[in-house]
Amino acid sequence: MLVKHLWGLYVQPKDEWIDIDTHHESLLSVVVSLFFFALIPATSAWYTASVTGWKLGFGDTTYLSSSSAGIMAVGMVIVSIAIVATFSLFVQWMAGNFGSSSSFTQALELTTYTAAPIFITGIAALIPVAWVIMLALLVGVAFSVRALYTGVPIIMHITEERGFIYASSLLTVGLVLFVASMGITVVMWSFGLGPQFII
């Protein structure tokens, strides 16, 4: 499974990407790993929102109802997987412009490994302190960006110069997808699908 490569991507990303490129995973294995990663922030947020609660500033501790937190956790998993799958389609679609070719499985593998550090930092949601979560997220994003720039030329079999431009283009796509997901969330909340707080 993809999980076995995580430590290598943190400490020696280039060597690990070469190993990943040599031993590609099956589509099923990649999907299972992606689902596992998507569960990390969702279950952490569910537990904190419904069990320990959030305390912002000097106000009272805020809780969500268990059902509301559960619905939002399921939504987080679905949206996370949808974003990674959409990003993978862009990886595959843009490959030809940079002198490469890519199967969807290969693109999904690259995207899942790249997104893994962000998913893993979702554990920080167990600590209901906003600055801790933001700091963990920044660290996760930094490792994800490094993984993207290191992995693209290796997995896509292109030069580092083309890989840099390709990765930069993909980074822009990732930012657009993130903003779009925030916009969809706002629209869903406006239709009454937002959180239900316990007072």
Using H for helix, E for strand and C for coil, what is the string for 140-156? HHHHHHHHHHHHHHHHC
Residue 158 above 60 pLDDT?
yes
Residue 64 above 70 pLDDT?
yes
Residue 155 above 80 pLDDT?
yes
- What digits encode the pLDDT tens for the residues 25-63? 899 999 999 999 999 999 998 898 888 877 666 667 777
Phi, psi angle pair for 149, to nearest 5°: -70, -30
Among 44-58, 118-132, 139-153, which is the least confidently predicted range? Answer: 44-58
Tokens in use for 143?
A: 């490792």
Single-letter residue type at 99: G
pLDDT bracket for residue 143 (50, 70, 90) = very high
Give the whole-angstrom CA distance, residue 77 versus residue 84: 11
Residue 177 above 70 pLDDT?
yes
Single-letter residue type at 93: W
What average pLDDT does the segment 17-31 reach? 90
- What digits encode the pLDDT tens for the residues 99-111? 888 899 999 999 9
What average pLDDT does the segment 83-94 reach? 95
Give the whole-angstrom CA distance, residue 174 versus residue 183: 14
Return the higher-pLDDT residue of 108 and 196. 108
Residue 120 above 90 pLDDT?
yes
pLDDT value for 196? 64
Give the whole-angstrom CA distance, residue 134 versus residue 94: 31
Single-letter residue type at 114: T
Residue 98 above 70 pLDDT?
yes
Q: Which residues pair with 104 in a beta bridge?
A: none
Quote the mean pLDDT of the chain.
87
Residue 195 above 70 pLDDT?
no
Residue 156 above 90 pLDDT?
yes
Single-letter residue type at 143: F
Residue whose entry in the numeric block shows the structure tokens 């799958």: 85
Residue 153 above 70 pLDDT?
yes
